[in-house]
Amino acid sequence: MQTDIRATGDAAASADQPYAYPLLIKQLLHTPLAHAPDQEIVYRDVCRHTYRDLVARIGRLGSALSRLGVGQGDTVAVADWDSHRYLESYFAIPMLGAVLMTVNVRLSPEQIAYTIDHCGAETLLINTEFLPILDGIRERLPKLKRIVLLSDEPCDPAAVGAVGEYEALLAAADPQHAFPDFDENTRATTFYTTGTTGLPKGVFFSHRQLVLHTLGTLGGLAGAASGQRLHRGDVYMPITPMFHVHAWGLPYVATMLGVKQVYPGRYVPDMLLQLRRTEGVTFSHCVPTILQMLLLAPAAKEMDLSGWKMVIGGSAFTVGLATQAVARGMDVFTGYGMSETCPILTLAQLKPADLDLQPEQTVPDRCRTGLPIPLVNLRIVDGNLEDVAHDDQAQGEVVVRAPWLTQGYLKDADATAHLWRGGWLHTQDIGRIAPSGSLQITDRIKDVIKSGGEWISSLEIETLISQHPAVAEVAVLGVPDARWGERPLPVVVPKAGAEGVTAEDIIAHLRAFADAGRISRFAVPDQVRFADSLEKTSVGKINKRQMRERYAAG
Amino acid sequence: MQTDIRATGDAAASADQPYAYPLLIKQLLHTPLAHAPDQEIVYRDVCRHTYRDLVARIGRLGSALSRLGVGQGDTVAVADWDSHRYLESYFAIPMLGAVLMTVNVRLSPEQIAYTIDHCGAETLLINTEFLPILDGIRERLPKLKRIVLLSDEPCDPAAVGAVGEYEALLAAADPQHAFPDFDENTRATTFYTTGTTGLPKGVFFSHRQLVLHTLGTLGGLAGAASGQRLHRGDVYMPITPMFHVHAWGLPYVATMLGVKQVYPGRYVPDMLLQLRRTEGVTFSHCVPTILQMLLLAPAAKEMDLSGWKMVIGGSAFTVGLATQAVARGMDVFTGYGMSETCPILTLAQLKPADLDLQPEQTVPDRCRTGLPIPLVNLRIVDGNLEDVAHDDQAQGEVVVRAPWLTQGYLKDADATAHLWRGGWLHTQDIGRIAPSGSLQITDRIKDVIKSGGEWISSLEIETLISQHPAVAEVAVLGVPDARWGERPLPVVVPKAGAEGVTAEDIIAHLRAFADAGRISRFAVPDQVRFADSLEKTSVGKINKRQMRERYAAG
């Protein structure tokens, strides 16, 4: 039995008229059903379903939510770790004409309450692990009408005032739900982006945007000559949370392609590595911190990591970390984008001409920000929106147009107009473009260090410091300086066993790059701080704002 | 200097508003300009340009045509062999908001006159080789206002009443043409499909449809695990005429991908093979007849053809021909579609699980019609539009929905309603679908042989006969029979040196398949005819209607 992903209320069918084919998320399911109905979708060591099951379960979820009262335009929030249930929600909720809101469970309870309330969600699908959080914020969610529990273990919905448990609801529901056709510009998803200041801001994406992002990302990923690509023989496992920018959109791409998918639940290095081995995972994506965690995990020591393709994004991918991964035979490369951009804009795939290089020679290109995927119109511009030169020297703000950029911030016209100044989405990233076309982000506008009238890229200094053998992690901050305005201050986390490294070692290491002309002498810091760890945001990015506050005092 | 493919009349830019990003053909040019501005586009042994040049020349062509008076909604007809000029027209004409009409120069002069007049073209870009045809039909083209000459040699436009010669017009024009934004549903192309009966019928495609066909085709082609795929390291050369269904859409795909492209002019086997060698061509597409011509060309005998990827479409790809190509190391596979479908619907790529097979074992899968590309919703149905089983036995008509199907026939509402009966595009092809999802077209509705109440697939019998070692080409016709209604009649062209083959040989060959249960005994013909060649249509397909008329008399 298979759910009906064809049109209903089908005007074309009744009148012998051409079918106008709206770009709806349900249309992504045609290819996998034809190519790979028996291919598997695995959830940890808990359960496995086929794509045929996936489509039937999407139908059941659609039927169940409809019966609970979810209709077109309603918002349904989901709070879960990465699971088959989340994948089913990625499809069924938007396919109903409702809006999927992915709850960032790493935010503070206050922020979680703010985001669920701000988007107007009346329905919440929540993993029982997060019920204690919900307990604390329940009274701040007056719009919330119904809760559905998600759990790998038996649980009692009535005991917590929930309308049901996910698997029980699906079991009782009709798999043949007739998902309607509607306008492709209907909102499909929304989620919140957290800067380091202010309230979280909601971004939102339509069916059309998600379908086009899926096609553009597939074209960009699959088009590589060899390596750094996703294809029908791959086994996909996300290691970027599904509440974070559609897990970069890859669950949609992997589903359309019909590949085997593996959902790892909460990220635990041993489970991730075990799934890599037992399920034969070949394609993942994560932030640098997770890659580092995987490389350092005891279980990884004896494991064959070679051939594991991994897109690295979310924050700068340093040469030091990339070198470690490449030495293990991993096929790591940068992907670039942000919450506002759905997210993928560029990928750092090797060019066909570079395929003969030795692995270590490819590291710098893997760490660049990369080249735009199909349809992305990406520029670096000055303050007047004029192009700056593509000589890998001149820097400008990265501005973009693509068919999948958020058309604004939810209920915030001022921030929307600021984001879209001059009709281009402003990334607030500073970058340079090489004659080869490859973009290199050098800094966030707000993190660039303005010292003695010169701009110093904190990212560039971090990249060089990360290559020092004693350095595990580093952040370079701009701290106030009476004479120069700002000066760069590196905060270094030494590797285990390398705690003896000194400020002089780090400064001498950088001075060598200045002597070689790679950075200006002015960019060499006067002092270095050491720490046991760096401050991180809820999504694992270094929180420079907080660090600046802490270290500015000196 | 580079033409401006950004928005003009840019409402978003002037008002700090989100850019809505229409899907326009010009948007395909962003990626190649970023990835491969110095990559080459080669025209025979005549000239070569970079992608940077391509974009500047598109700008010049836009400026030149604008100055000649071509505006939004006008139709511009082009009659040329495959050239860089044609590629430039594929972009510049639609980018002006005008409609590109590709003239099928293999039609009769009467049909050419009919099609140019029917589409209302006021402008004609024509290769000087076709001037004699134009001479004979000029007075039947009252709407035609201006002619531009295309030629590899110096020529005198004034002498034939033309407004200019292509290269001279481009040289005098501004490369910085500001192509406007407009509605993505604006018509971009039109061309005519010739059945074997009646007047040619015009089909038409919008910018949105062509952009989505480009993305879907790239996703489908590039997503293969290994082989049968197009990637950034390939060198592309079409061997399907550019006047025929957008050369299957591949010039747009190749351009968006930024690969080296080779345009071979008129198809001459020696030139095609020379370009394969000198330019390193790795990816092409053609009809079976052209593949056979290439394999039989004296120059091919000593040549290394291995690794040449080739999509075969337009008519059935027989196991006999595929076996020959695979034996030469060619990576041949079927592509399926038609003029009405932009055209690509399916591709016969090998599945990841089949990559370990010996080459000859892969031939049957390469010859099947294949699996749908992304977004294609393809069904086989009975007369009530109900699905028939996917058991590779049950047959039904192939009906489709995709975002790139013609929304009708030009100025022909009745034919449009017939094409789109029940809101599905009716291909008029009969097929079966295997449990693996792979489609096999067994016949055209009108070519299926109805004999004694049973359906016999002419294609299936042709496929089996083509495997006989003495057979070069074969067509199986349904001819009237007093007792059975119709009986199958094979018309066989023997291979050179195998003219001794007899009707009994062919019948015995087929009887062996009937004994093995592969075909019904009823499908084994009672007689066989031999011929020096088969009747073909203007686009090289076997003209069964004409053959039936000739052979029906017996």
pLDDT in tens, A247-283: 999 999 999 999 999 999 999 999 999 999 999 999 9
Distance separating alpha carbons of residues A2 and A22, to the nearest angstrom: 22
Which residue is associated with the tokens 């340009």?
B49
Q: Helix, strand, or coil here: B476?
A: strand
**Per-residue pLDDT, A361:** 96
Return the pLDDT at B511.
94
A382-441 residues touching B, CB cutoff 8 A:
385, 401-403, 405-408, 416-418, 420-425, 437
Q: At what angle do helices A207-222 and B207-222 cross, to 10 degrees?
A: 40
In a domain, B93, yes or no: yes
Over range A489-503, report the average pLDDT: 94
| Contact in structure between B90 and B96 (CB atoms under 8 Å) | no
pLDDT at A498 over 60: yes
Catalytically annotated residues of A: 193, 340, 450, 455
Question: Could you tell me how many residues make up chain B?
Answer: 554
CA closest to B223 among chain A residues: A231
Q: Alpha-carbon dihedral of residues B548, B549, B553, B554, nearest 10 degrees?
A: -40
In three-state secondary structure terms, A281 is coil
Give A19's contacts in chain B (Cβ within 8 Å).
401, 405, 420, 423-425
Query: Of all helices (H) and strands (E), which one includes residue B492?
Result: strand B485-494
Residues of A in contact with B260 (CB under 8 A): none
pLDDT per residue, tens digit, chain B (554 aa), is 344 555 455 767 767 899 999 999 999 999 999 999 999 999 999 999 999 999 999 999 999 999 999 999 999 999 999 999 999 999 999 999 999 999 999 888 999 999 999 999 999 999 999 999 999 999 999 999 999 999 999 999 999 999 999 999 999 999 999 999 999 999 999 999 976 567 899 999 999 999 999 999 999 999 999 999 999 999 999 999 999 999 999 999 999 999 999 999 999 999 999 999 999 999 999 999 999 999 999 999 999 999 999 999 988 899 999 999 999 999 999 999 999 999 999 999 999 989 889 999 999 999 999 999 999 999 999 989 999 999 998 889 999 999 999 999 999 999 999 999 999 999 999 999 999 999 999 888 888 787 876 678 888 899 899 999 999 999 999 998 888 888 999 999 999 999 999 999 999 999 999 898 778 888 899 999 999 999 988 767 788 888 988 887 65
Q: Which residues of A touch B423 (CB under 8 A)?
A: 7, 10-19
Q: What is the pLDDT of residue B199?
A: 86
Contact with chain A for residue B352, Cβ under 8 A: yes
Q: B284: how many CB neighbours lie within 10 A of its CB?
A: 28
- Give which of B423, B317, B349 is closest to B379, Cα–Cα: B423
The mean of the pLDDT values for chain A is 93
Distance from CA of A165 to the nearest CA of B (A): 33
Whether residue B394 is contained in a domain is answered as no
Among chain B residues, CA nearest to A234: B225
- Whether A236 and A276 have beta carbons less than 8 Å apart is answered as no
ipTM of the complex: 0.89
Cβ atoms of B52 and B2 within 8 Å: the answer is: yes
* Among candidates A16, A215, A234 on the partner chain, residue whose Cβ is nearest the Cβ of B219: A215
Kindly state whether residue B472 falls inside one of the protein's structural domains. yes
List the single residue in A with minimal CA-CA distance to B346: A31
**For residue B2, what pLDDT is reported?**
41
A389 CB-near residues (< 8 Å, 6+ apart):
none
Nearest C-alpha of chain B: how many angstroms from A256? 7
What is the per-residue pLDDT for A410?
A: 95
Cβ contact A437–B34 (<8 Å): yes
| B132 vs A521 pLDDT, higher one | B132
Q: The tokens of A43 are what?
A: 């959830």
Q: Are A51 and A33 in contact (CB under 8 A)?
A: yes
Q: How confident is the model at residue A3 (pLDDT cuts 50, 70, 90)?
A: very low
> Which amino acid, one-letter code, is at A474?
V
Q: B546 is in which domain, residue-wise?
A: 449-552
The confidence band for A554, taking pLDDT boundaries of 50, 70 and 90, is low
Contacts of A27 in chain B (CB under 8 A): 375, 377
Point out the domain boundary residue: A180, A215, A235: A180
Nearest residue in B to A11, CA atom: B423
Q: Domain boundary at B180, B198, B223, which? A: B180
Q: Out of A231, A423, A425, whose CB is closest to B223?
A: A231
How confident is the model at residue A191, as a pLDDT? 97
For residue A414, pLDDT over 90 is answered with yes
Residue B221 falls within a domain, yes or no? no
> Is A361 part of a structural domain of the chain?
no
Among chain B residues, the shortest Cα distance to A348 is held by: B35
From chain B, the residues in CB contact with A23 under 8 A are: 212, 403
What value, to the nearest 5°, has the Cα angle with vertex A165 and ends A161 and A167?
175
Report yes or no on B457 lying in a domain: yes
Cβ contact A401–B256 (<8 Å): no
Q: Active site includes B397?
A: no
- Contact of B231 with chain A, judged by CB distance below 8 Å, is answered with yes
CATH code for position B92: 3.40.50.12780
| Cα–Cα dist A441/A448, whole Å | 11
Q: Are A18 and B420 inside 8 Å of each other by CB? A: yes
Structure tokens belonging to residue B528: 């066989």
The model's pLDDT over A69-117, given as tens digits with 9 standing for 90+, comes to: 999 999 999 999 999 999 999 999 999 999 999 999 988 899 999 999 9
Q: How many CA atoms lie less than 13 Å away from B125 in the CB half-sphere?
A: 31
How many distinct structural domains can be found in chain A? 2
Residue A405 has pLDDT above 60, yes or no: yes
pLDDT, tens only, A123-159: 999 999 999 999 999 999 999 999 999 999 999 999 9
More confident residue, A1 or B314: B314
Query: Average pLDDT in the A304-332 region?
Result: 95
Q: Which residues in B lie closer than 8 A to residue A256 (C-beta atoms)? A: 219, 374
User: In the A/B pair of chains, how many CB contacts fall below 8 A?
Assistant: 212
The reply to whether A454 falls in a domain is: yes
User: Does residue A213 lie within any of the structural domains?
Assistant: no
CA distance A178 to A175: 9
Q: How confident is the model at residue A457 (pLDDT cuts 50, 70, 90)?
A: confident
The nearest alpha carbon in chain A to B26 belongs to: A375
Count Cβ atoms below 10 Å from residue A197 Cβ, excluding itself. Answer: 7
The model's confidence at residue A197, banded by pLDDT at 50, 70 and 90, is: low
Of B180, B196, B224, the last residue of a domain is: B180
H-run or E-run covering B259: none
With 60 as the cut, is the pLDDT of residue A445 above it? yes
Query: Does A176 touch chain B if contact means CB atoms closer than 8 Å?
Result: no
pLDDT at A1: 34
pLDDT on residue B4: 53
Q: Tokens 């004979």 identify what position?
A: B136
Distance from CA of B24 to the nearest CA of A (A): 10
d(CA B64, CA B79): 18
Which of A14, A16, A27 is nearest residue B375 as measured by Cβ atoms?
A27
Strand arrangement of the beta sheet that strand A485-494 belongs to: A471-481, A485-494, A529-530
Q: What CATH number did the domain enclosing A491 receive?
A: 3.30.300.30
CB < 8 Å to B422, chain A: 13, 16
Which among B10, B215, B372 has CB closest to A34? B372
Whole-number Å distance between alpha carbons of B425 and B404: 11
